[in-house]
Chain A
Amino acid sequence: MKKQEINLIFYILGVIIIFLINYFFVFPEYNLLKEKNKKIKNLSTDEEFIKNYYDIVNKNLEDLNNAKWGSKKNILEQNFDSSPFFSSIVKDFLRTKALESGLIVSDIYVSRPVIIANSEELYKSELIGPVNKTRFELSLEGNYFAFKNFISAIEKSSRIGSIESISIDKNHNSNQEITNDLLFKLSIDYYSY
């Protein structure tokens, strides 16, 4: 065999070895490295996002604590009661306020809750929570000043109630004392989640 042919065989073998090393070892490792770099890039983006998000959460919590959120939370929460006792709680609240104002409660009728999102209220799109409104219709007896006190008391209460209608009529029941000379019918909407 000529020396030139032997050299050629060595060259071809060399090239084959280089190809095999690259194909079976270098390229797979290189691809793995590229994958890891991609993963690091994604995790870094996540890290940045999470860090910013939690910074905002912490800042909001700090602001809430500075604003004494703990005590205010209970006041706000009572407006979005979602317990099965909601109607009873509000009825009790209305009876107490009426009594304190000097009115007699003849009757309280509670309507079915209406989901505000399905109602025609103009502000419905501004609400975040699933707010329902329940109408309470009250029949009351008493005098005008007691009634005004009652209205004022429920308007000033932290439990938000929106008075939708009022009817004031003479009390024709002759057995009533002069101080309970009027009959009132009142519709108030209260809210829950």
Chain B
Amino acid sequence: MENKSNVIISSLIVIILIFSISFYLFISFVSLPQKEKEIEELNQYIEKFKDDDYENKMIEVSNAIKYVNDYMILLENKKNASNFLNFFESWAHPGISYNINLDFSYNKAMARGVTDNVVKLMEQIAILGIQEKIKEYEISDVDIAIDGKTQFNLTFYFSEELIK
């Protein structure tokens, strides 16, 4: 009985010993070299991208994105003065001569009008009143001379869509 248990314990120790040595040999001579190779292949694959002028390609793409985006934003937000001038011509009385100051930051126009006849100013006011793109206007400093020559200031705010 004692001999049998001795044999079992001895066998167990030998089996564990063999297993440990085999495990060590397997890791050292099979697994680790395999993993090293795998790592080397992955590194080579990643390095390949660096060699392939990708740095310049990325700069090119990021510059393109930057230029196109900024160009579009500036284009969308720039003011279109021609539209305003065409609009102004559409309702400015031909008998009145204007000196005009336009401030597109505030959508504001200030004009000094001169006409030979106060009736033309009245007509101008009537036309101004029906302009949908003029938000509000004010006529001030009206000066009517004996000969009928009339001078006045016209201040108005126009719709922003007019200069888009």
Contact = CB atoms under 8 A, between A and B. Distances in A.
Partners in one complex: yes
B75 A17 contact: no
A163 B77 contact: no
B91 interface: no
Given A21-B21, A26-B24, A131-B70, A166 B35 contact: no
Given A77-B67, A131-B74, A148-B85, A47 B42 contact: yes
A93 interface: no
19 contacts: A4-B2, A14-B14, A14-B17, A26-B27, A30-B23, A33-B32, A36-B32, A44-B42, A64-B64, A79-B67, A79-B70, A152-B82, A160-B78, A161-B78, A162-B104, A163-B80, A165-B105, A166-B81, A166-B102
A164 to B, nearest CB: 5
B49 to A, nearest CB: 6
Interface string A5-47: 0010011001101100110011001101100110110011011
A165 B103 contact: yes
B131 interface: no
B43 interface: yes
Closest A-B pairs by Cβ, 6 of them? A14-B13, A36-B35, A162-B78, A43-B42, A163-B81, A76-B67
Interface in B1-56: 2, 6, 9-10, 13-14, 16-17, 20-21, 23-24, 27-28, 31-32, 35-36, 38-39, 42-43, 45-46, 49, 54
B82 A148 contact: yes
Interface of B: 2, 6, 9-10, 13-14, 16-17, 20-21, 23-24, 27-28, 31-32, 35-36, 38-39, 42-43, 45-46, 49, 54, 57-58, 60-61, 64-71, 73-82, 85, 97-105
A43 B104 contact: no
A167 B102 contact: yes
Does more than half of chain A's interface fall in helix, strand or loop, or is it mixed? helix
Contacts of A166: 81, 100-102, 104
Interface in A43-59: 43-44, 46-47, 50, 54, 57-58
A76 B68 contact: yes
Contact of A29 (B2, B24, B58, B101): B24
Size range of the chain A interface in the assembly: 35 or more
Contact of A165 (B2, B10, B104): B104
A136 interface: no
B13 A18 contact: yes
A80 B70 contact: yes
A68 B67 CA distance: 15
A135 to B, nearest CB: 11
A129 B82 CA distance: 29
A123 interface: yes
B102 to A, nearest CB: 4
B79 A163 contact: yes
Contacts of B69: 126-128
A50 B49 contact: yes
